[in-house]
Amino acid sequence: MNQQPETILAAQDVRLCYRRRSGFLKWFEHTALASISFELKRGEILGILGRNGCGKSTLLRLLAGLIEPTSGKIICDMQTRRALLTLGLGFRPDLSGRDNALLSAMLQGATKGKALETLQGIHEFSELGAFYDQPVKTYSAGMRARLGFATAIKTEVDVLLIDEVLSVGDVNFKKKPKRRCWRGSPVSRQWCLFLIVSNR
């Protein structure tokens, strides 16, 4: 009997509204997301298309657990490890790529020992060479994308949330993540991959 893949991440009638005072007895209110519901099973890949400002990145932050919805709920088991890859988020610019990879692995649930074991694999997959031991503030956007993707791959997160980060960097490296994300790969069968493609 075939076992159905487990639901690993779900949204139930999620709404996110920003409200702030704009004057005496006046409020500015903006609804960023409304009535969002879906469920993703292990091994599934979901992409979103939308114009700039329609809430794609906001939805990813909700799914990553970085912000809370105004109403509705995000359902994700506490043991599920999620990683959000987005430009400009998550790395300390004063630390080296190696140190940032170590911190990222530990924040994603790895013990320090396990995180240390992954560092060589992250170095090799990222193809950063000597820059791996240089401060991230010296990195290009493409190099930060390489480091983030390599860290997520080698720490074996359950849910990989990608927000336009694969739109930067050189063509040869872009092929590497795409091969790892493709449905037939051993990695993608374990993951739920939530891939954001912007306004294209």
- How far is the C-alpha of 152 from the C-alpha of 85, rounded, in Å? 8
Percent of the chain with pLDDT over 90: 28
Do 126 and 132 contact (CB within 8 A), yes or no?
yes
pLDDT computed for residue 94 by the predictor:
94
Residue 51 above 60 pLDDT?
A: yes
Q: What is the pLDDT of residue 71?
A: 95
Delineate the domains of the chain, giving CATH numbers in brackets: 7-21+32-196 (3.40.50.300)
Q: Is pLDDT larger for residue 54 or for residue 33?
A: 33
Residue type at 128 in one-letter notation: L
pLDDT in tens, 73-114: 999 988 888 877 776 557 889 999 999 999 988 887 778 898
Count Cα neighbours of 44 within 13 Å in the Cβ-side half-sphere.
15
Q: What is the pLDDT of residue 172?
A: 63
SS3 content of the chain, % helix, strand, coil (to 5): 40, 30, 30
- Identify the pLDDT of residue 188: 45
The DSSP 8-state label assigned to residue 23 in this structure reads E
pTM value is: 0.72
Alpha carbon distance 46, 86 (integer Å): 16
| CA–CA distance, 190 with 89 (Å, rounded to integer) | 25
The whole-number pLDDT of residue 122 equals: 92
- Spatial neighbors of 186 by CB under 8 A, at least 6 apart, are none
Give the residue with greater pLDDT, 181 vs 143: 143
* SS3 letters across 79-147: CCCEEEEECCCCCCCCCEHHHHHHHHHHHCCCCHHHHHHHHHHHHHHHCCHHHHHCEHHHCCHHHHHHH
Q: How far is 11 from 2, CA to CA, in rounded Å? A: 26
pLDDT at 179 over 80: no
Percentage of the chain exceeding pLDDT 70: 77
Q: What is the pLDDT of residues 151-176, one digit of tens each?
A: 877 877 788 887 765 555 565 665 66
pLDDT over threshold 80, residue 33 = yes
CB atoms within 10 A of CB 160: 24
Distances (CA, A) of 138 to 2, 127, 133: 50, 16, 11
